[in-house]
Structure 1
Amino acid sequence: MTGVRDVLVVAPHPDDDVIGCGGSIAKHVQGGARVTVVVVIGRERSALDDGVGDAEFAAETAAAAKAMGVHRCIRLDEPSRDFALSRRVHLELVRILREVRPQVVYLPHDNDDDVEHRMVHQLATEALWMAGSDFFHETGGEPMPAPRLVLGYEVWAPMSRFQYAEDIDGQIETKVEAMRAYASQLRHAAWDEGIRGLARYRGALASGSGHAEVFQVLSLGAPAAPGGCRD
Structure 2
Amino acid sequence: MSGGTQAGAGVTDVLVVAPHPDDDVIGCGGSIAKHVRDGARVTVVIVIGRERSALDDAVTDEEFAAETEAAAKALGVHRCIRFDEPSRDFALSRRVHLDLVRVLREVRPQVVYLPHDNDDDVEHRMVHQLTVEALWMARSEFFQEAGGPPLPAPRLVLGYEVWAPMARFQYAEDIGGQIETKVEAMRAYVSQLRHAAWDEGVRGLARYRGAVSSGSGYAEVFQVLSLTAPPPPAAAGGGGRD
Q: TM-score range by the shorter chain?
A: over 0.9
Q: 2:162 matched to 1:177?
A: no
Between the aligned partners of 1:225 and 1:206, the Cα distance in structure 2 is 31
Taking structure 2 as the reference length, the TM-score comes to 0.93
Distance 1:123 1:206, change over 3 A: same
Taking structure 1 as the reference length, the TM-score comes to 0.98
Please tell me the residue identity of whatever aligns with 2:175.
I
Query: Corresponding residue for 1:87?
Result: 94
Between the aligned partners of 2:100 and 2:174, the Cα distance in structure 1 is 29
Between the aligned partners of 2:172 and 2:181, the Cα distance in structure 1 is 18
Please tell me the residue identity of whatever aligns with 1:133.
S
Between the aligned partners of 2:127 and 2:237, the Cα distance in structure 1 is 27
- Residue 12 of structure 1 and its aligned partner are, at CA, apart by 0.1
Please tell me the residue identity of whatever aligns with 1:155.
V
Between the aligned partners of 1:177 and 1:131, the Cα distance in structure 2 is 34
Between the aligned partners of 1:174 and 1:229, the Cα distance in structure 2 is 31
Do the aligned partners of 1:224 and 1:230 also contact (CA within 8 Å) in 2? Answer: no
Query: Corresponding residue for 1:135?
Result: 142
* 1:37 maps to which of 14, 19, 44: 44
Query: Corresponding residue for 2:117?
Result: 110
- Residue 9 of structure 1 and its aligned partner are, at CA, apart by 0.1
Q: Trace 1:14-25 onto structure 2 (pairs within 5 A).
A: 14-25=21-32
Do the aligned partners of 1:5 and 1:229 also contact (CA within 8 Å) in 2? Answer: no
Please tell me the residue identity of whatever aligns with 2:166.
M
Between the aligned partners of 1:35 and 1:41, the Cα distance in structure 2 is 19
- Residue 229 of structure 1 and its aligned partner are, at CA, apart by 5.5
- Residue 140 of structure 1 and its aligned partner are, at CA, apart by 1.2
Distance 1:28 1:76, change over 3 A: same
Q: Trace 1:2-81 onto structure 2 (pairs within 5 A).
A: 2=3, 3=5, 5-81=12-88
Q: 2:194 matched to 1:187?
A: yes
* Structure 1 unaligned residues grouped into runs of 5+: none
| 1:72-101 Cα deviation digits (max 9, x unpaired) | 000000000000000000000000000000
Q: 2:218 matched to 1:211?
A: yes
SS of 1:22 mapped into structure 2 = helix
Please tell me the residue identity of whatever aligns with 2:42.
V
Moved over 2 A (4+): 1-4, 224-231
Please tell me the residue identity of whatever aligns with 2:65.
A
- Residue 223 of structure 1 and its aligned partner are, at CA, apart by 1.6
Do the aligned partners of 1:11 and 1:107 also contact (CA within 8 Å) in 2? Answer: yes
- Residue 197 of structure 1 and its aligned partner are, at CA, apart by 0.3
* Structure 2 unaligned residues grouped into runs of 5+: 6-10
Identity %: 84
SS of 1:75 mapped into structure 2 = strand
Query: Corresponding residue for 1:198?
Result: 205
Do the aligned partners of 2:12 and 2:238 also contact (CA within 8 Å) in 1? Answer: no
RMSD: 1.2
Do the aligned partners of 1:106 and 1:152 also contact (CA within 8 Å) in 2? Answer: yes
Between the aligned partners of 2:136 and 2:101, the Cα distance in structure 1 is 9
Q: How many residues align?
A: 231
- Residue 225 of structure 1 and its aligned partner are, at CA, apart by 3.3
